[in-house]
């Protein structure tokens, strides 16, 4: 597979190559690079790359926004390249670049991003339980409730342990020793000494003020930051032959008392001070605080700085059981969705209308606004103004009403239960006001449609049963004998032999451009077609060699005897299953004949888990041939004709 056909390879080339990468991680929609030479980051070329929404430089971090397929591209890069200081060591290298404020925000991001899914899931469960018990649908003394309550409380009660592990990676220390240090503060012998917070015991004659550390945030972060310096110092003076035992032992001996005596209480007092400060601001002017958050949240997200406020929100939840920052932040999310809807209503270009609608859905359903921010608001400018104005007004309203959230979630329609406190009606009014006002202002002010239409970032999360493409039902695929001519210029080479590929699956055919993944739909991976399978068996489409079997068994590459490189990719985003539900019946390097069974997968379970099972069949080296023709059939069966590759005369 050539580099120019591979989005991951193109991105690596345009950030200066793998040798220029210090570390790489990713969040929901963007790859986050730390680079040795910033001058090699080719932002203009990245912005023009099919499959890339926008390239951003923020606080010494170089971000490539690719939409919700970021995990797939990230794993392609990690699997294919040797990158010093991978995502797990981001904090040790990249997070120390830039000015001090940038380092703080980048470090917070590297610590919190990995644990956000657990926080969001537990938070939503907690909110659902509150609703069920409030309306007496579930008794609080029932076994069902108590078991689910334990599930919802686990993440928050043991939050210091999750933070310790994440901090260990971010600060470049042993994450398991980091967990052990913080776990000592939750150990029964330690907690048994606490009759009430503030009690004092003695350690070697030194007074220790006892605190409760469950559900806390700042003490764990401070503790592991201090330990990162202690560990480096110990490694500097301890001989390598005994380092494996001596460093962890001395780390525990030094750090546990140090945290109990100094670091822990400082963290508790700091957290209390932050919480009191937020409460004071809301008391003085909730409207002003909400307006600032509603207007500024989008800009914080643009530069990845919003992670700096996540500890504050989590601290509020731990101290008070509610948070007042997330509701006005939610108005900013719905303002962006409203801007996208306004563009959809006003735009004349069908491509732009389709993009606006597809970008709006993840914002409304999952709270993901980056595709709108980068693909619409920044590009067309006036929608950003409209969303900001709506955020100010709606954010000020929910702030004035002291609106609260009971859990940390991404604001969206699906996470409304997290806001079902006594102020829920004000939150509903606020997000509705934000959406409608932003849409109306965008429609009234208009925008310049002559700016190039954005590339579809595949903002849909790919959750369908194969019966819809780009959010709309697919008519029976009509692919009248179509010839796709690659961009490569072959001059007068002429047409020699023809290579035929048979269908590797039974199912319905759709054009490649309708696949809800820009990497495939744009043709950057190569020309071909896609099949929505009706069963779970994959057969070889050619005689040849298995050139690549991905360790996740969701994709396979075969090189035919004529040199045609075929890629079969089962489903979209199925890489995150890490091989679950997939079985391989061949090995890499095996010779196969057309019709041999290659892979099997659990189609019904994939659908039950809401995976898109659309399976692209790609000619990875299609640029090497004058044309690739696709079948005109709407349905295909294994061993039936699928693709025809015209070979250049040799």
SS3 481: coil
User: Does an H or E element contain 329, and which?
Assistant: helix 326-346
Known catalytic residue: 27? yes
Known catalytic residue: 569? yes
Of the listed 26, 75, 306, 569, which one is catalytic?
569
DSSP category for residue 624: G
d(CA 512, CA 146): 49
∠ CA 633-636-642, nearest 5°, is 70
Conformational region of residue 215, where left means phi above 0, alpha means psi within -120 to 50, and beta covers everything else: left
Residue with tokens 């890490």: 578
All residues at 6 or more sequence positions from 540 whose CB lies less than 8 Å from its CB, including other chains = 504, 558, 592, 593, 594, 595, 596, 598
d(CA 298, CA 367): 12
Residue with tokens 């993944």: 517
d(CA 66, CA 72): 10
Helices (H) and strands (E) in the chain, counts: 21, 23
Paired with 583 in beta bridges are 600
Contact 630, 530 (CB under 8 A): no
**Mind giving me the DSSP string for 403-450?**
--BSS----SGGGGGGG-STTHHHHHHHHHHHHHHHHHHHHHH---TT
User: Does an H or E element contain 525, and which?
Assistant: none
d(CA 220, CA 570): 42
Of 435, 519, 436, 506, nearest in space to 466 by CA? 506
Contact 286, 399 (CB under 8 A): yes
SS3 623: helix
Of 423, 435, 409, nearest in space to 126 by CA? 409
Paired with 545 in beta bridges are 559, 591
Contact 636, 509 (CB under 8 A): yes
CA 373 to chain centre: 16
Reading the block at residue 553, the tokens are: 């068994």
User: Does an H or E element contain 547, and which?
Assistant: strand 544-549
Of the listed 27, 75, 167, 306, which one is catalytic?
27
* φ/ψ of residue 628, rounded to 5: -125, 120
d(CA 611, CA 618): 20
d(CA 231, CA 338): 50
Known catalytic residues are 27, 569
């Amino acid at each position: 597979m050539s580099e120019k056909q591979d989005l991951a390879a193109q991105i690596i080339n345009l950030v200066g190559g793998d040798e220029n990468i210090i570390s790489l991680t990713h969040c929901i929609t963007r790859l986050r690079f730390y680079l040795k030479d910033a001058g090699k980051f080719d932002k203009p070329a990245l912005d023009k790359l099919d499959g890339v929404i926008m390239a951003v430089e923020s606080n010494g971090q170089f971000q490539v926004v690719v939409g919700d397929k970021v995990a797939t591209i990230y794993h392609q890069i990690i699997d294919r390249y040797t990158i010093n200081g991978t995502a797990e060591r981001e904090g040790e290298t990249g997070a120390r670049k830039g000015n001090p404020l940038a380092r703080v925000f980048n470090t917070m991001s590297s610590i919190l991003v990995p644990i956000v899914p657990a926080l969001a899931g537990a938070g939503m469960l907690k909110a659902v339980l509150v609703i069920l018990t409030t309306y007496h649908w579930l008794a609080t003394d029932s076994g069902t409730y108590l078991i689910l309550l334990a599930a919802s409380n686990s993440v928050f009660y043991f939050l210091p342990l999750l933070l310790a592990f994440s901090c260990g990676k971010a600060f470049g220390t042993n994450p398991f020793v980091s967990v052990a240090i913080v776990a000592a503060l939750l150990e029964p012998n330690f907690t048994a000494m606490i009759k009430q917070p503030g009690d004092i015991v003695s350690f070697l004659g030194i007074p220790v003020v006892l605190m409760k550390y469950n559900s806390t945030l700042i003490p764990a972060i401070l503790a592991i930051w201090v330990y990162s310096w202690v560990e480096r110092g110990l490694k500097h003076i301890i001989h390598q032959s005994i380092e494996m035992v001596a460093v962890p032992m001395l780390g525990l001996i030094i750090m546990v008392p140090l945290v109990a005596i100094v670091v822990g209480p400082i963290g508790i007092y700091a957290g209390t001070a932050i919480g009191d400060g937020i409460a004071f601001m809301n008391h003085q002017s909730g409207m002003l605080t909400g307006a600032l958050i509603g207007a500024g949240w989008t800009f914080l997200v643009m530069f990845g700085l919003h992670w700096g406020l996540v500890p504050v929100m989590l601290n509020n939840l731990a101290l008070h059981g509610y948070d007042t920052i997330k509701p006005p932040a939610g108005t900013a999310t719905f303002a962006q969705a409203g801007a996208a809807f306004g563009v959809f209503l006003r735009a004349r270009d069908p491509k732009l209308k389709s993009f606006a609608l597809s970008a709006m859905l993840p914002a409304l359903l999952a709270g993901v606004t980056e595709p709108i921010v980068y693909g619409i608001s920044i590009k067309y400018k006036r929608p950003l103004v409209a969303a900001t104005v709506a955020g100010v007004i709606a954010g000020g309203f929910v702030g004035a009403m002291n609106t609260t959230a009971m859990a940390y979630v991404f604001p969206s329609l699906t996470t409304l239960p997290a806001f079902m406190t006594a102020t829920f009606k004000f939150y509903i009014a606020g997000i509705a006001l934000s959406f409608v006002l932003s849409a109306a202002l965008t429609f009234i002010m208009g925008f310049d449609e002559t700016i190039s239409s954005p590339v579809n970032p595949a903002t849909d999360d790919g959750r369908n049963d194969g019966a819809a493409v780009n959010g709309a039902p697919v008519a029976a695929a009509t692919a009248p004998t179509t010839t796709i001519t690659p961009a490569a210029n072959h001059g007068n080479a002429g047409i020699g032999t023809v290579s035929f590929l048979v269908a590797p699956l039974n199912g319905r055919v759709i054009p490649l451009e309708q696949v809800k993944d820009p990497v495939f739909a744009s043709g950057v991976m190569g020309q071909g077609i896609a099949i929505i399978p009706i069963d779970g068996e994959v057969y070889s489409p050619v005689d040849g060699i298995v050139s690549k079997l991905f360790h996740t068994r969701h994709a396979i590459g075969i090189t035919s005897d004529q040199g045609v490189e075929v890629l079969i990719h089962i489903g979209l985003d199925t890489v995150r299953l890490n091989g679950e539900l997939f079985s391989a019946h061949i090995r890499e390097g095996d010779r196969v004949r057309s019709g041999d069974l290659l892979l099997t997968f659990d189609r019904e379970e994939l659908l039950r888990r809401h995976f898109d099972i659309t399976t692209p069949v790609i000619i990875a080296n299609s640029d090497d041939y004058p044309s690739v023709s696709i079948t005109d059939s709407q349905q295909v069966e294994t061993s039936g004709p699928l693709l025809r590759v015209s070979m250049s005369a040799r």
